[in-house]
Structure 1
């Protein structure tokens, strides 16, 4: 007889992922153990194995869930009717807003992605490329005369914008929506006003 899935299966799974993201981010993926994860979750080690057969599987699920959701959120930014500059401003704002509440997951992405097998890393990088391409298209549309066919320059500007947004995450992770929106405006102003100069 097949084992039935508990009604709170998804809730417990999410709890495991959130707790594991905290442990992986604060203690490092290599130093984390299933026993530590169980303690952080407040459940037995055997119960964790009911959901995941290894911490590698947990790491994959953390990053796959986080990056696919982040990608979907950013690519779904409502830019209808906006001119190219306002579109870029909206996307920058929404990227920074999307980071809110995901500090541990973001840290795990930065520090533990390389622990995944190559094929799984490729999947995560595909999510990242989708986001980079989307922001890159917005930047090009806001100043097409600056880039021409210079893909290297466009990539450098795009990654610089992401760098500014990631800096804010690293140093102001607990900031609320108003502070994030103000910083997003600053990044957009620096980008849009700086583009003609390059």
Structure 2
């Protein structure tokens, strides 16, 4: 979505305001004023403020899903594919840290239907990631004494915590953090 388009401007304004004030303390009027559009224009593209929050996260999740699919279908050895996927999710999370932080802090405020839809999308992503682990377990490349779903929850718990400590001004780049996380994941899966 192009940022100078109306939906792009609305998302940029919403992201900035949600980060500054919080989802619950940001009004639709503030979002449309910051985006320089009318409420009618906003409601043409988004049904509600919930939809804006859902899209803030959705665009990151779509990017991560596209990248995971590209990695998962290659003929590379399973350990290499999992490593690439593990690094990518860290790099893309850090590259969209405001979006991820806003979503993780505000997801409980979404209406039930939107929340269910977003959780289902995220679950599909996690299932695809878990599929890589299960493939490696079946092939004897990864240890099989730890359930793949626990490994996924453990890994993504660490990824979701990035917003609490990662700073772009720190000594490690997003790629370096991703490499370290991937190393730890693969080391934990060695037979």
The TM-score by the shorter chain falls in which range?
Answer: 0.7 to 0.9
- What's the offset of the Cα at 1:92? 0.7
In structure 1, the gaps of 5 or more residues are 1-7
Match of 1:50 among 26, 29, 41: 41
* Number of residue pairs matched by the alignment: 183
Contact 2:83 2:186 in 1 (8 A): no
Aligned residue for 2:128? Answer: 134
Structure (1 or 2) with the larger CA radius of gyration: 1
Distance 1:122 1:173, change over 3 A: farther
**CA-to-aligned-CA distance 1:107-161 (integer Å, 9 cap, x gap):** 222122222222221211111111111221222233445336x6xx321111111
**CA-to-aligned-CA distance 1:85-119 (integer Å, 9 cap, x gap):** 11111111111222243222212221222222222
Aligned residue for 1:5? Answer: none
Aligned residue for 2:189? Answer: 195
Aligned residue for 1:61? Answer: 55
Output the CA distance in 2 between the equivalents of 1:69 and 1:127.
Answer: 12
- What's the offset of the Cα at 1:55? 2.2
Contact 1:71 1:127 in 2 (8 A): no
Output the CA distance in 1 between the equivalents of 2:81 and 2:169.
Answer: 23
Q: Normalising by the residue count of structure 1, what TM-score does the alignment of the two structures yield?
A: 0.76
**CA-to-aligned-CA distance 1:16-64 (integer Å, 9 cap, x gap):** 11210221133111111123223433x25xx143222642342233333
Output the CA distance in 1 between the equivalents of 2:154 and 2:169.
Answer: 21
